[in-house]
Amino acid sequence: MLLLAPFARALYLDGCAGLGGKTLHLTQLLPEGAQVVAVEPNLKRQALLKDSRRRLGGPEIEIHGGTLQKFAEQRQGGFAGILIDAPCSGLGVIRRQPDIRWKRSLAVLQGYQGRQRELLAAAAGLVEKGGLLVYATCSLDPRENDEVIAAFIQEHPEFSITPAQEHLPEAARGLCNDQGFLKTTPEQGLDGFFAARMERNG
């Protein structure tokens, strides 16, 4: 979430809100006057997000059902920061869920990549000039991470990668690679996560 910093009194979007943990964390980081919009097509998850916000308090969250693609068709840009914590294979949590290895075929992985690229493409037009787009997965597979970002940058040259390490606490900077991506692995005693921070330049 820190990869969306510096935070401003502006409009932010969680494009894959799920149960809302990251959405609610974002509301806690933002200054007073900022607004958060969440997109979550699943009705049960929407209800849980609303319930969590009521219990925890904090600012209102504008919640939209339907897909991010539909949301992007109906909404103009103007978001200072967008988080896409994309649906993925979950290969990064394989040490805690070892049965994942038997449930992920090459075709399944390719399907995830297609969906991830669609989500980023939908989000791209919603980011204002100078705004940020953060992409994250809990996967170790380059097809869901590096390859997705490479394809996105090629198709959207108005975006550029900015080094994640410049926006993380000192203890986490060593988890970033030379390309500026945050990458954690089970070998480090952590679940496998990936995150890329991109800025819209034009």
DSSP string, 16-32: T-TTSHHHHHHHHHSPT
- State how far the Cα of 160 lies from the Cα of 146, in Å rounded to an integer: 14
| Cis preceding linkage at 6, omega within 30 | yes
Whole-number Cα distances in Å, 105 to 17, 35, 75, 86:
26, 40, 36, 18
For residue 93, give the 3-state DSSP assignment: helix
Q: Are 111 and 60 in contact (CB under 8 A)?
A: no
* Paired tokens of 84: 């896409």
- 202 Cβ neighbours under 8 A, 6+ residues apart: 129, 158
* Paired tokens of 160: 């550029």
- State how far the Cα of 125 lies from the Cα of 150, in Å rounded to an integer: 18
Residue 16 designated active-site: no
Q: Of 16, 88, 138, 176, which residue is the catalytic one?
A: 138
* Paired tokens of 58: 């904090």
Active site (catalytic) residues: 138
